[in-house]
Amino acid sequence: MRILVLGGDGFCGWPTSLHLADLGHEVVIVDNLSRRAIEHELEAYSLTPIAPLGTRLRVWHDLGGAPMRFERLDVAREYERLLALLERERPDAIVHFAEQRAAPYSMKSSRHKRYTVDNNLNATHNVLAAVVESGVDAHLAHLGTMGVYGYGTAGMKIPEGYLPVELVGEDGTRVRQEILYPANPGSIYHMTKTQDQLFFAYYAKNDGLRITDLHQGIVWGTNTPQTLRDERLINRFDYDGDYGTVLNRFLMQAAVGYPLTVHGSGGQTRAFIHIRDTVRCVQLALENPPERGERVRILNQMTETHRVRDLAEMVARSTGATVANVPNPRNEAAENDLEVANDLFIGLGLEPTTLDAGLLSEVTDVARRYAHRADLSKIPCTSTWTRRQAAGAPVGVEVSEPTPAPEPVRRTA
């Protein structure tokens, strides 16, 4: 297949591009390098010394990898160039990673909120509009998030995208339907992903586009077999308070002797997936596209769920690190249970990589090797969700209880 990987220089996009190229696909990376620009804005750099993209591509080629091409392009802003690219390349598939993906970054200020909304919604909509205008029959696989569902379970496993409901009409007629699972975003970033879903539903319905939305959990790990072939192919490793995600942060913190930063009581339960499974899932999704006219295919791309404090205890036990409960800068429930269905990927043949001591220590080893590059002042999460939290209000005070269901309306004869 000829595959465009939008956002192919990023944490998930780079190893995915390598994996797809290794399988014999023709890969064209499209990226505006905004993530590298944000590193400079935050003065917080990847712990691993990532090479410039030109070097990455040259080294890959020199090592015998199938050549990959690169188009530097802003998917959100350069619509005409994107359209011309699609018309020229006529890809069989497009993998869309090209969004601003950090929840804390999206909450830093109005500017960051507006940037995240502008960038993510325009990137997604431009891709869809360009596929239609170019007439290219490309399957679009988008990286969405588990966070579109919120993290509550309502006593059931979170299904894969759609919720079966039964509607009761005035005359008692019962109609069964499947609707998009109600969106419940916890940050501006997550909100953009819930809105992406509506773009997809519309374009699948109106234009018959073939779309897969992969609702991915928190990705951990750093390397894949391909990124390990040469240090200049190494993947990025974010540990800072905006872009670092929880498990990789804990493993890095343990490696540099920093107390593990558990937010509040650490009662949050989240879905996780190892980066090696991310690249396999994208492969499986591309090998199993929906038919034209089919509704958006939604798969939960995660392999296990864990509670944050359990992860911290596990890392502390295995490394001797200490745990520090720090005030939670986010507006999120203090405790949640989470059960998630992932039958579709299992049915496609995914053999889940789950947390094991070997993989955890592999990440800690990477972090130890590059510990000299760490700037410990970038570890604390300083982005707050609300003005009250910014002013130092106690944790959790703004988390509202779920609105009680209204009393049923009694009809009088």
Q: Which residues bind ligand NAD (CB under 6 A)?
A: 7, 9-13, 31-35, 74-76, 97-101, 119, 123, 143, 145, 216, 218-219, 245
Q: Which is nearer to ligand USQ, 283 or 384 (CB)?
A: 384
Q: Which is nearer to ligand NAD, 35 or 280 (CB)?
A: 35
For the question of residue 193 being annotated catalytic, the response is: yes
For the question of residue 108 being annotated catalytic, the response is: no
Q: Which is nearer to ligand USQ, 120 or 134 (CB)?
A: 120
- The identity of residue 72, as a single letter, is R
> Burial code of 146-169, b = ≥16 C-beta within 10 A, e = fewer?
bbbbbbebeeeebbbbeeeeeeee
Catalytic residue among 181, 189, 239, 370: 189
Residue 150: name its binding partner from ligand NAD, ligand USQ, none (Cβ under 5 to 8 Å by kind).
none
The span from the first CA to the last CA of the chain, in angstroms, equals 65
267 contact partners, CB below 8 Å, separation of at least 6: 307, 308, 309, 333, 334, 335, 336
| Token reading at 80 | 């005409």
Across 264-409, where does the E strand assignment appear?
269-274, 297-301, 304-307, 323-326
CB 317 within 8 A of CB 360: no
Catalytic residue among 116, 124, 145, 319: 145
- The identity of residue 202, as a single letter, is Y
> Which residues are at the interface with ligand USQ (CB under 6 A)?
101-103, 145-147, 217-218, 245-246, 249, 261-263, 266, 268, 270-271, 308, 328, 330, 332, 381
Least distance (Å) between residue 273 CB and ligand NAD: 8
Q: Which is nearer to ligand NAD, 22 or 242 (CB)?
A: 242
Enumerate the β-bridge partners of residue 144: 215
Least distance (Å) between residue 278 CB and ligand NAD: 8
Looking at residue 154, the DSSP 8-state letter turns out to be T
Residue 254: name its binding partner from ligand NAD, ligand USQ, none (Cβ under 5 to 8 Å by kind).
none
For the question of residue 189 being annotated catalytic, the response is: yes
Q: Which residue is nearest to ligand NAD (CB)?
A: 10
Active site residue ranges: 145, 189, 193
